[in-house]
Structure 1
């Protein structure tokens, strides 16, 4: 059914659930069972978890919350070099909880492309995929990795038709995209218009970044872009097409806006961005109209053990489970 935001966006809920990232870098956060209850009470149907935290996995049993589970970066080298290590990892962290926990994706590595650990990502993905296949879970759980959208990965994004990946990113993403395409898996993308905005506020207006622009900002042939989020999404789709991955879907594995602690960070901006994100993703993008985008809002709580500033203030909730601002999930 239709749902609304005060800024004026209206969309119809797509088939994809909206998720929220559950980070644990705080010494005052509620216990996992209370966190899972909060997800359920707010109708949050999917979760991203950055490591196989056993207490959280226990709390998720029987919840029907779809899970995107990360393989920590520290494990990449061992999993890349040892199929038996991958079998053990899947046995301990997935098979032991399946089907009581609704695993959907395994993210092998977090924003390590390009970089010194990038060489391990695809071999580790293949070993994890093989381990899932051995357990009979390859159709239920898809293996991917998460990438950033900064210049170290996406050198040019506007207009989308001229998008260009960095040479370092292309080196690793080329063969990786073929793996994703052959296994029907998406590419996980951490997409922050906030990062682009604070990097170039004189050229990227707040309305363009917050989904509140009343008119088109970028024209790209027959495509018109009203919102920066769509511009970046379609730039990645174009880049994937150039790598032979025209059938690879993008899942937005992180996106959010801080409520305090940095330039452009405010409660009003955070509420506006995140509610508009939730309301917008069912529409797709100009190049993929009507194709609902699966997205994970970053993040559930303000975390006091993160670096001082905006990093501590991306949460939808305070550690006492009170909302930082009102937000509605469809």
Structure 2
């Protein structure tokens, strides 16, 4: 008789930004012990005193079972490691947590960050594999603004893994009547969708800043969906992943307005703001993803993505933003 698996009673959230805070809020409903981890010692001490992450949600008091930690020792024996850090720092964070990760080799690494590592042009699951970490990997991606999640507004997301038990654990941690999860096995496709939608949001933001109109933006998004499908087919991923929450759902949300950092970045580019200065103020994942995707396209030369190429010319080669109108 097959032995039943115990329910997860401890998880570690790595990253104390807005999304990490929202994920801790979700997990606190289903898991007995939630470790809220950051290397910022003073920030964590303040959080443990107030149970408020004042930098992001000053009016939200987190549940008592969410406990801040700045030392790795508190992460040991977690039932899952949930990463919500910028993708360009993910490799370094994983290396720093290696001992804790190996203390729970069956615990999934749930990656909730979107993008591609610039220096290697690798997806986040590929970074984990390269580091030879034994834990199963889950990708969580969808149309999820942290503010809506932490305000308990109805939301949905997609999770992908090759490991069915890891998907089940992820669902146990996060699922509620206000947060729905759909499960798929297309790890590569979901990561590509969740990365390149940030690039397309920059494009829609540029169009908005140029006042090209809603008709143009709608046509732009239609072409973007076609390009996403082409990219997935080329990478031998499942083109149907584009139709998931983490595909067209996330694309729509990220392209919907100034709440999206990538959209706002594009809008400000159209208004002639300095690109380098904009990237210093906030993390704009689409800016970095654009560089990596263009490098991959130039290397493989197997698929033509006209929108990506036009946005690259504007962002990295200082071409006039109005060239984006050529897409129609």
TM-score (norm: length of structure 1): 0.33
The structure that is helix-richer by fraction is 2
The structure that is strand-richer by fraction is 1
